[in-house]
Amino acid sequence: MSKTAFLFAGQGAQSVGMGKELAEAFPTAKDLFDQANTALGYDLTDICFNGPEEALTATENAQPGIYLVSWVAMKLLQNKVPDLKCDATAGLSLGEFTALAAAGAMTFEDGLNVVRLRGRYMQEACDETKGGMAAVINLDADATKAVCDEAGVRIANLNCPGQIVISGEADRIEKACELAKEKGAKRALPLIVAGAYHSPLMAGAQAKLETTLKDVEIKTPDVPVISNVTAKEHGDSNSIRARLVEQVTGSVRWEESIRLLLDQGFDRFIELGPGSALTGFMRRIDRSAKILNVADTASLEKTAAEIAG
């Protein structure tokens, strides 16, 4: 029997105009954008649709914006294919919150508010530190870890074979890039980011998020949700809170998370929300796996038709 997992993207997937076409075409989408504006108390919709890019890229807008567009994409697909069954969810960093909400562990509005605050806390941590990140291409995990240990930085994301992201103090990232190339990396590229996500430099955001999550009702998910930091299924509500706090400074083990689902017999994956980064990762993890996506009206119609067919 076919098993389907919903996948949700993280920060970096945002682009000006995201969700606009869907809101213009589907009243359900417009209603969700309006609901989000009311819940947040400001016009996130306008920032998603019209920018400017600087405003959308700001972490406290990008995170709820991606969460919202991903939720809209999911709801529209479920409306198009009412008998579509989701057997598990997973999300990259920020996307883990969308995955939990999609699995019934928290409400849509609670998730939206939490990711906005998470984004604000992370931006504050970025402003207080001088951090950076880099993508290391075609160097294995053990060699990359050795580079990180020598340079004094951390592995932030294990995305897929051949792509690992490192994080830490900006000058140490430069050193790490040099070391990685010396050890055989095809490329080691500093990323244009506000700071050192998924590293100890985010400790200030971690403490604030922990306090925020104490006031959020979290339930045991209706379907399995894969944790970024353990690459295993989330447990009960207290465990979920703990893992979400750890995630702020911990490594995102995305490749392992996807391999867990593949090992469990999942044979269809649907990326929901802006961008297609997770589709790209999947093709490098297992090219034979079925991966669909919903980001706009064309991809919505294509994915719905493929599922129905």
What percentage of residues in the chain have a pLDDT greater than 90?
97
Tell me which of 70, 93, 199, 257 is the catalytic residue.
Answer: 93
Give the position of tokens 């297992």.
286
Give the phi and the psi of residue 238 in degrees, each rounded to 5.
Answer: -65, -40
Q: What angle do CA 43, 49, 52 make, to 5 degrees?
A: 85
Torsion of CA 140, 293, 45, 207, to 10 degrees: -30
Please tell me the distance from the alpha carbon of residue 281 to that of residue 237, in angstroms, as a whole number: 29
Each residue's pLDDT tens digit, 95-105: 999 999 999 99
- Specify whether 234 is catalytic: no
Q: Average pLDDT of 142-155? A: 97
User: Would you place residue 309 in the very low, low, confident or very high pLDDT band (cuts 50, 70, 90)?
Assistant: confident
25 has pLDDT over 80: yes
Question: Looking up tokens 């105009």, which residue turns up?
Answer: 17
CB 95 within 8 A of CB 7: yes
Tell me: the pLDDT tens digits for 133-148?
Answer: 999 999 999 999 999 9
Task: Kindly report the average pLDDT of the chain as a whole number.
Answer: 97
What local confidence, expressed as pLDDT, does residue 79 receive? 97
What pLDDT was estimated at residue 192? 84
Query: Which residues on adjacent β-strands are paired with residue 4?
Result: 268
Domains of the chain with CATH codes: 4-127+200-308 (3.40.366.10), 130-190 (3.30.70.250)
Candidate list 70, 198, 199, 257, residue with the active-site label: 198
What CA–CA distance (Å, rounded) separates 184 from 85? Answer: 44
Q: What whole-number distance in Å separates Cα of residue 52 and Cα of residue 49? A: 9
Question: pLDDT tens digit string along 157-186?
Answer: 999 999 999 999 999 999 999 999 999 999
Q: Please state whether the predicted TM-score (pTM) of the whole model is above 0.85.
A: yes
Please tell me what DSSP assigns to residue 194.
S
What long-range pairs does 79-84 form, CB within 8 A, spacing at least 24? 79/26, 79/28, 80/300, 80/301, 80/304, 81/304, 81/307, 81/308, 84/4, 84/307
- Angle subtended at Cα 232 by Cα 271 and Cα 137, rounded to the nearest 5 degrees: 60
